[in-house]
Amino acid sequence: MAIDLQGLSARELDSLINQAKQRKTTLKKRKPVATVRRKLEALAQAEGYTVAELFGGRGAATTGARAPAKKAAKGRKLGKVAPKYRNPANKAETWTGRGKQPRWLAAQVKKGKKVEDFLIKK
């Protein structure tokens, strides 16, 4: 964080100095993170938990209580979906209609064909 001290007035500098002193005092009163972490781990272990169980995190075991719902991750695998579109030039190339159009379909659409022309008839 860079602050342009040249553009500040004397009053603004005094205010900045006071804020910095208050922040420094607050930081001095805090215990090191490692110390606090050890205390939390010891307390959780004494009660039969892990820190991951209490505060979330990777590999958090769920005992009895229902796990919190996870947000959908990017690239999450959904169930299998039957293909809806097929490349007439290569029957092995299909597309479900989800996600980005495959290159073969995008090329055909660019030539003026409609996506509906490639629907698989049931």
Whole-number pLDDT of residue 58: 56
User: What pLDDT does residue 60 have?
Assistant: 45
pLDDT (tens digit per residue) in 23-48? 999 999 998 888 988 999 999 899 99
Instruction: Supply 121's token pair.
Output: 């008839």
Q: Decide: 102 and 115 in contact? Cβ < 8 Å.
A: no
Which residues does the chain have with pLDDT short of 70? 1, 57-75
Can you say how many angstroms the Cα of residue 45 is from the centroid of all Cα atoms in its chain? Answer: 29
Rounded distance between C-alpha atoms, residue 31 and residue 24, angstroms: 13
- Domain boundaries along the sequence of the chain: 10-55, 85-118
pLDDT at 32: 87
First-last CA distance in the chain: 63
